[in-house]
Structure 1
Amino acid sequence: MTQLFPRATLKRIIKSHHNRTLTKNVDVMIYLDYVLFLQRLAEEANNEAKQDLNEKKIEERHVVAALERVLQEFQG
């Protein structure tokens, strides 16, 4: 099975931003939260595109419009 992300690199990035020790699987939880965030952002941008005269392509303006709502959902 291939790795989806480099765990050591992610742990090093997290440690560089926060001077705390990390539990064993915290990097996995952060990665999964990141994937869920991107999935939700894509869904919201798709909804924005559909509302905008049924456009078939998601454009930057759709992502920007959806970003604030999704960030509010993931703020914790």
Structure 2
Amino acid sequence: MAAVQKLYPRGTVKRIVKAHSNRSVSKNADILIFLDYMLFMQELMREASIRSRKSGEKNISANTVRKVTEVRYSRSISKLLWKSRENI
């Protein structure tokens, strides 16, 4: 029988999350964290691809990815600030 290749190291993900949050991780939380990470990477690469095509580049560069993440973070921060103002 062929050995099954693991998609990612579950123990490593759990240790990283536990170290940063000082809380234990439930049984399948690491799977959801990994899937969320993969969705983030897909969206990031899609946006970087669109941006590089618009600027006439043939390849996706590190600079393009940086620009996309800057725009993404600024949008996220402005949304958080807007929500906090609504709650006041």
- TM (norm. structure 2) is 0.72
Instruction: Select the structure of larger CA radius of gyration.
Output: 2
Larger RCO (CA under 8 A, 6+ residues apart): 1
- Report what 2:53 is aligned to: 50
1:66 aligns with 2:62: no
CA RMSD of aligned residues (A): 2.0
Rounded Cα–Cα distance in structure 2 between residues aligned with 1:28 and 1:69: 28
1:26 aligns with 2:29: yes
Rounded Cα–Cα distance in structure 1 between residues aligned with 2:8 and 2:30: 10
Rounded Cα–Cα distance in structure 2 between residues aligned with 1:38 and 1:26: 18
In structure 1, list runs of 5 or more residues that go unmatched: none
- TM (norm. structure 1) is 0.82
Rounded Cα–Cα distance in structure 1 between residues aligned with 2:67 and 2:54: 12
In structure 2, list runs of 5 or more residues that go unmatched: 81-88
| Percent identity of paired positions between Structure 1 and Structure 2 | 39
Q: How many residues align?
A: 74
Tell me if the contact between 1:40 and 1:70 (Cα under 8 Å) persists in the aligned partners.
Answer: no
